[in-house]
Amino acid sequence: MIRLGVNIDHVATIRNARGEMHPDPYLAAIKAMKSGADSITIHLREDRRHIKDSDLKKISKNKKIPLNLEMAANLPILKIVLRNKPNFVCIVPEKRKEITTEGGLNIKRNFKQIAKIVKILNKNSIRTSLFINPTIKDVKISKDLNVNCIELHTGKLSNLIKKKRKFKNELTKIKRSSEYADKIGLEVHAGHGMDYKTTKILSKINEIKEFNIGHFIIGESIFDGLKSVIKKIKKKLK
């Protein structure tokens, strides 16, 4: 069965717009789980633009919530991760000036730093994945880094589909990367920019075991409610 991870970062974005306590990401996490999510994803960014340390602490304390924490490959964030012990970690690229994550990790350039962090996470029994571009080269390097999973960046595919442009080549890259990763023993996840249509298309790739979706789910929930949107996404994954 394909799993759905719901990213609740932008619940925190709405809260922070007023500098108050509502809406609470913790309550969003509970609601999402009750609505059919298989896990919750949050990204503790260096600039704390949405999720705060207090959110991580509160959510990670509830052991009924399988928590996937996205983090940059840096040691100060790693120390916070080890204090809170989320179930899963996904190492992602991060730039302070970006609006959202722009592409996958440059794992070749940052191999030593990522390897150091992965080794520590593995020692602490935290399942680790790398957010990478859908290329065979990056899948191979990920295997060398001794991670459990990879998460393929689907942003380019999603943008092509939304703009009604040809997307076959990008879809083929994702399919081939997924097949190769599965063949060499890496679990395959997918994330970034997905909506109902792109989720349905990507669900046909049997090797993808988990989808992590955030911005679309939270945005669409304004109109249809969180429970309804999660259930619709789950139907697309069947």
Is 192 annotated as catalytic? yes
Q: What is the pTM of this model?
A: 0.94
pLDDT digits (tens, 9 = 90+) for 176-221: 999 999 999 999 999 999 999 999 999 999 999 999 999 999 999 9
CA gap 189, 3 in Å, rounded = 9
Q: Which of 70, 94, 170, 220 is catalytic?
A: 70
Q: Which of 50, 153, 189, 192 is catalytic?
A: 192
Question: Which ranges of the chain would DSSP assign to H, the alpha helix?
Answer: 9-18, 25-34, 53-61, 75-84, 111-123, 136-144, 155-162, 168-183, 196-202, 215-224, 226-236
Q: What percent of the chain has pLDDT over 70?
A: 97
Report which DSSP code applies to 95. -
In terms of Cα–Cα distance, which of 33, 43, 102, 36 is closest to 71?
Answer: 43
Question: What are the chain's domains?
Answer: 3-236 (3.20.20.70)
pLDDT digits (tens, 9 = 90+) for 43-54: 999 889 999 999
pLDDT digits (tens, 9 = 90+) for 152-172: 999 999 999 999 999 999 999
Query: What is the predicted pLDDT for the residue at 117?
Result: 97
pLDDT digits (tens, 9 = 90+) for 57-84: 999 999 999 999 999 999 999 999 999 9
Angle at 218 between CA 215 and CA 224, to 5 degrees: 135
Is 70 annotated as catalytic? yes
**Partners of 132 in the β-ladder:** 152
The average pLDDT across 26-41 equals 98
Reduced to 3 states, what is the DSSP secondary structure of residue 183?
helix
Is 189 annotated as catalytic? no
